[in-house]
Structure 1
Amino acid sequence: MLDDFLVRAALGGTGVALAAAPLGCFVVWRRMAYFGDATAHAAILGVALSLVLSTSLFAGVLTVSLLMAVAVSWLSGRGYAMDTLLGVMAHSALAFGLVAVSFVAGVRIDLMGYLVGDILAVGRADLAIIWGGALLVLALLGSRWSALLTATLSPDLAHAGGIDPRREQLVLTLCLAMVVAVAIKVVGVLLIAALLIIPAAAARPFSRTPERMVLIATAIGVLSANGGLAAAYRFDTPTGPTIVCLATLLFLAASLIGRRLESIAPRPARPHE
């Protein structure tokens, strides 16, 4: 079965969606969208590093993504405005990565594959990395679920309950770096943030609890990945962008339906918002 490239692509897209959707909910709740974007852009520098050192692409991307996320977290508390800091680091990391890749001699590099993904080229080894990373992310989020929610809702409440908000931030940072590393093959560095944010945002109008939002976001992410793959195969379009386009259409539909439902029966405010 795994000899069929479409089956491998579908499994790869599903694995990334399963990891990205729950994490994306925390990104939305904590308003960390640009944080995810900066971490994703740093992945190109990780690609260059892995090629120069002849190491695993996954290891290079994970290392640099994690270093970027930790650096942003560290600098944000030292007098730098978060949006300015993220803007500088996101674009500079992408630029340095692209320049560094051009200096790698004797290696033919498909930059478009790294920028917008190449899900149809996913192999068995890639599937092992994607699903291994996805299961690790889900295990981390599941084991820290209550603490993460409390720290997201109120750092003061977390402190009162003996929870260190910085430790929970570090857990999310590690998960974010892991998702970037496994998703680069599927949607590329320019679209990873979209796959994190859009399914979670689409799930929000229908969610009265954090757990329900995670489940709906996961369903939307899996539908986007597999539906986008089918549409790209049918219409011969770039697969990564097509996946994000379908996710966007689902978000627009969810927004319209959510407004309609709210006009009929307004809902009370939800604490996780």
Structure 2
Amino acid sequence: MLNDFFIRALVAGVGLALTTGPLGCFIVWRRMAYFGDTMAHSALLGVALAFFFDINIMLGVFAVAVLISLLLLFLQRRDSLSTDSLLGILSHSTLALGLVMVAYMTWIRVDLLGFLFGDILAVSKSDIAFIYGGGAAVLLVIAWLWRPLLAATVNEDIAKAEGLHPDYSRIVFMLLMALVIAIAMKIVGILLITALLIIPAATARRFSRTPEQMAASASLLGAVAVISGLFGSLHFDTPSGPSIVVAALGIFILSLLPLQILVPFTRQRSPRP
């Protein structure tokens, strides 16, 4: 018989995986893994500011992630540094600022490991409601902007010629990333969020023929990784967040085996939007 907290963790983790699947596909297609890391690292600064101003932690993380995204867009237009240099500066600076602020606030006891690596077993019913509510909003926006996002991913010039406003789509995509990071922080932690976004999407790419198939497969594989990781954590008494990422890694490694062994009737094709 499973405990209530474990069932809540399963429900929350599956809900998050369903959300991160399609979003992770765009990260893989656009080669934005380092951007995802930067957004995730800024979450700790959001946590520190939330404690300092006594506001909701998820709100603080979302606000800081949005500010970092807008700051990146502003700095990119100045053409003073390459994008990867800017991402490196923002990523490590925000993480360091968050750690310094947390260390400075000695009057507050902060579970730093919980924020860095997640504590999915501590999710509450209100957390689950937020995960599914926020996840549904993210998926609805992705479905609404699927064509503009896909067109901008393939070629921004063509997207502009067709009147699809790729700059607008990019801003919305960054907002969605900020929201998902705020949701995912409590489950897999700041340092592992990007892994949950990228690994299932990278795995799904090997077995999918179209972008739509890849998005659906990434969600399914993420859910399998969550369930496998949680049961593995229960059996081997390992940290839940890292166990989910290790399970996702295991599925990815299996996907590298010859397709004739795993799925004899599937041809080896990768969807390229």
The answer, yes or no, to whether TM exceeds 0.5 is yes
Which amino acid letter does the alignment assign opposite residue 231 of structure 2?
A
Is 1:112 matched with 2:110?
no
Is 1:155 matched with 2:134?
no
How far off is 1:161 after superposition?
0.8
* Alignment partners' CA distance in 2, 1:162 and 1:99: 45
Length-normalised TM-score, structure 2: 0.94
* Alignment partners' CA distance in 1, 2:32 and 2:3: 38
* Alignment partners' CA distance in 2, 1:265 and 1:22: 22
* Alignment partners' CA distance in 2, 1:207 and 1:195: 18
Other-structure match for 1:137: 138
Other-structure match for 1:92: 93
From the superposition, tell whether residues 65 and 255 of structure 1 become closer, same or farther in structure 2 (CA, over 3 Å). same
Runs of at least 5 residues in structure 1 that lack an aligned partner in the other structure: none
Size of the aligned set, in residue pairs, is 271
Q: Deviations over 1:68-104 (max 9, x none)?
A: 1221122123212111111111011000001111122
Other-structure match for 1:214: 215
Other-structure match for 2:168: 167
SS in 2 for 1:237: coil
* Alignment partners' CA distance in 2, 1:111 and 1:180: 17
* Partners of 2:29 and 2:153 within 8 A in 1: yes
Other-structure match for 1:49: 49
1:1-273 counterparts in 2 under 5 A? 4-79=4-79, 80-258=81-259, 270-272=271-273
From the superposition, tell whether residues 259 and 197 of structure 1 become closer, same or farther in structure 2 (CA, over 3 Å). farther
* Alignment partners' CA distance in 1, 2:260 and 2:37: 28
* Alignment partners' CA distance in 2, 1:246 and 1:12: 17
SS in 1 for 2:163: coil
Q: Deviations over 1:101-158 (max 9, x none)?
A: 1122422111000000000000112112211111111011011011111111111110
Which amino acid letter does the alignment assign opposite residue 222 of structure 2?
G
From the superposition, tell whether residues 248 and 240 of structure 1 become closer, same or farther in structure 2 (CA, over 3 Å). same
Percent of residue pairs identical? 46
* Alignment partners' CA distance in 1, 2:76 and 2:91: 14
Length-normalised TM-score, structure 1: 0.94
Which amino acid letter does the alignment assign opposite residue 197 of structure 1?
I
Which amino acid letter does the alignment assign opposite residue 252 of structure 2?
F
* Alignment partners' CA distance in 1, 2:57 and 2:191: 17
Q: Deviations over 1:8-65 (max 9, x none)?
A: 1011111111111110000000000000000000000000111011110110010001
* Alignment partners' CA distance in 1, 2:200 and 2:14: 13
* Alignment partners' CA distance in 2, 1:93 and 1:99: 10
Q: Deviations over 1:163-201 (max 9, x none)?
A: 111111011101100110000000000000000000000
* Alignment partners' CA distance in 2, 1:97 and 1:258: 44
Runs of at least 5 residues in structure 2 that lack an aligned partner in the other structure: none
How far off is 1:265 after superposition?
8.8
SS in 2 for 1:185: helix
From the superposition, tell whether residues 63 and 3 of structure 1 become closer, same or farther in structure 2 (CA, over 3 Å). farther
Q: Which moved more, 1:11-20 or 1:249-258?
A: 249-258
SS in 2 for 1:77: helix
* Partners of 2:44 and 2:98 within 8 A in 1: yes
Q: Deviations over 1:228-257 (max 9, x none)?
A: 011101110011000000101111111223
* Alignment partners' CA distance in 2, 1:194 and 1:269: 20
* Alignment partners' CA distance in 1, 2:266 and 2:190: 40
